[in-house]
Amino acid sequence: MAETGAHARRVFSGVQPSGNLHLGNYLGAVKRFVEMQEEDYETIYCMVDLHAITVWQDPAQLKTAIRELAAAFMACGLDPEKSILFNQSQAPAHAQLAWIFNCVARIGWMNRMTQFKEKSGKNAEASSLGLYCYPALMAADILAYHATHVPVGEDQKQHLELTRDIAIKFNNDFSAPGFFPEVEPVIEGAATRVMSLRDGTKKMSKSDPSDLSRINLTDDADAISKKIRKAKTDPEPLPEALSGLDGRPEARNLVGIYAALSGKGAAEVLAEWGGREFSAFKPALADLAVEMVAPIAGRMRAYLADPGEIDRILGAGAMKARAISEPILEKTYDLVGLLRSA
Ligand code: AQP
């Protein structure tokens, strides 16, 4: 592994630049990215623009969305001096390795992916082929760096299991034991699945048509407070124990968000709030959310005032990313038997 620059504790994760980065992305993924940057890991974080185009993106908007996501990453605390930050399309090994993995993965494996079913809806035949084989590109993103740890929200668990299956099959097919590592999903924190504020059974999502369903990282204090005030709840007071959240998805979600933002456990939140009405809990939650989220938007605006600097940071990050991923791709091509002339 040394010849391909493997790191004992290398983190890779990505976020799609598809607009509206929200509290779910923050609590489920980006907050953990920042923590891991400060721990004993080499950290690589990517704006996965090739994933974003699996559904239609307006080309001019996409460039803006990539810069906005870079600004959001940095506004949340990612530091280009400590982490490699870049957009996926600037490191060609992702797409090249994805092709190899398309040839390793089985159609039956892809057919089991629930995210494709959710995203393609009733009209799967009209979805892009890219959306269907999205998980092979995601496996390539991770394995092109021999990453060992992947912080993600709960919704990505199945894709990470597929990444492991692809690594195992490749290593077996090409007699290369241990070449691609079996990655560890890092699904941690009090809010690995933040739900919509309008429907506690649906995950908070960028593509939800209702803006009231999510707290965007660009929302100001008024918007955040309004969305929490209007969040769907049930008429009962908060329960005293966790078991009392069963069958109450909206209550569970708001308690989970409060716990994640305050750094407390959900049981602790209920010990404090059990028996009290949502009319008292919601303003406290709104204050907490404003305190944590509103400053991010201000910092984002400051980064976005200098788009040239963002492009420079992403270019420099891409150079570092290529330096790691290209030797791994070359070794992969060699294992597969693809001729490389000098
Ligand atoms: N609701 C969520 N709760 C916790 N974590 C979440 N993540 C996404 N939604 C939630 C995590 O955020 C990271 C980046 O996700 P992504 O933007 O690459 O893709 P996604 O999961 O498809 O996010 P969205 O918001 O649902 O986007 P759309 O609507 O465009 O599909 C991932 O680690 C994800 O787990």
Residue nearest to atom 12 of ligand 1 (CA): 25
- Annotated catalytic residue 226: no
Residue 282 pLDDT: 97
* 342 has a pLDDT exceeding 90: no
Mutate to test the pocket of ligand 1, among 15, 113, 155, 214 (most ligand atoms within 8 A of CB): 155
Same domain, 98 and 180: yes
In a domain, 199, yes or no: no
Residue nearest to atom 21 of ligand 1 (CA): 155
Same domain, 32 and 76: yes
The amino acid present at 100, given as its one-letter code, is: I
CA 220 – ligand 1 centroid, Å: 21
* 4 has a pLDDT exceeding 70: no
In a domain, 128, yes or no: yes
Query: Mean of the per-residue pLDDT values for the chain?
Result: 94
Same domain, 130 and 275: no
- Phi then psi for residue 65, to 5 deg, are -65, -35
CB half-sphere exposure, 12, CA atoms < 13 A: 27
Residue 121 pLDDT: 87
In a domain, 206, yes or no: no
User: pLDDT per residue over 50-72, tens digit each?
Assistant: 999 999 999 999 999 999 999 99
When pLDDT is averaged across residues 200-221 and rounded to a whole number, the result is 94
* 6 has a pLDDT exceeding 80: no
Residue 88 pLDDT: 98
In a domain, 138, yes or no: yes
- Phi then psi for residue 103, to 5 deg, are -85, -15
Catalytic residue among 206, 226, 264, 331: 206
Same domain, 276 and 186: no
Mutate to test the pocket of ligand 1, among 16, 25, 49, 261 (most ligand atoms within 8 A of CB): 25
Q: Is 155 in the pocket of ligand 1 (CB under 6 A)?
A: yes
Q: Is 204 in the pocket of ligand 1 (CB under 6 A)?
A: yes
User: How far are the Cα atoms of 17, 65, 178 from residue 195, in angstroms, in the given order?
Assistant: 20, 23, 37
To 5 degrees, how large is the angle CA 66–CA 72–CA 76?
150
Same domain, 293 and 310: no
In a domain, 177, yes or no: yes
CATH number of the domain residue 105 falls in: 3.40.50.620
Q: From CA 134, how far away is CA 159, in angstroms rounded?
A: 9
Q: Which long-range contacts (CB under 8 A, 24 or more apart) does 208-213 make?
A: none
Same domain, 21 and 52: yes
CA 72 – ligand 1 centroid, Å: 15
Residue 195 pLDDT: 97
- Annotated catalytic residue 203: yes
Same domain, 324 and 217: no
Residue 191 pLDDT: 86
The amino acid present at 313, given as its one-letter code, is: I
In a domain, 101, yes or no: yes
CATH number of the domain residue 278 falls in: 1.10.240.10
- Going 112 to 118 to 123 to 126, the CA torsion angle's sign is negative
Q: What is the pTM of this model?
A: 0.93
Q: Is 196 in the pocket of ligand 1 (CB under 6 A)?
A: no
Same domain, 24 and 103: yes
CA 45 – ligand 1 centroid, Å: 15
Ligand 1, residue 153: give the atom nearest the CA: 35
Residue 2 pLDDT: 38
Residue 50 and residue 94 in contact, taking contact as beta carbons nearer than 8 Å: yes
In a domain, 205, yes or no: no
User: pLDDT per residue over 153-197, tens digit each?
Assistant: 999 999 999 999 999 999 999 999 999 999 989 998 778 999 999
Which residues does 308 contact at the CB level (< 8 Å), separation at least 6? none
Containing domain of residue 218, as a range? 211-301
Same domain, 54 and 168: yes
Which residues does 256 contact at the CB level (< 8 Å), separation at least 6? 190, 191, 194, 266
Which residues does 336 contact at the CB level (< 8 Å), separation at least 6? 100, 174
Same domain, 120 and 73: yes
Same domain, 80 and 177: yes
User: pLDDT per residue over 263-322, tens digit each?
Assistant: 999 999 999 999 999 999 999 999 999 999 999 999 999 999 999 999 999 999 999 999
In a domain, 269, yes or no: yes
Q: Is 25 in the pocket of ligand 1 (CB under 6 A)?
A: yes
* 81 has a pLDDT exceeding 80: yes
| Overall domain count for the chain | 2
Of 116-130, 233-247, 305-319, the least confident? 116-130
Same domain, 312 and 270: no
Q: Is 152 in the pocket of ligand 1 (CB under 6 A)?
A: yes
- Phi then psi for residue 122, to 5 deg, are -80, -10
User: pLDDT per residue over 322-337, tens digit each?
Assistant: 999 999 999 999 999 9
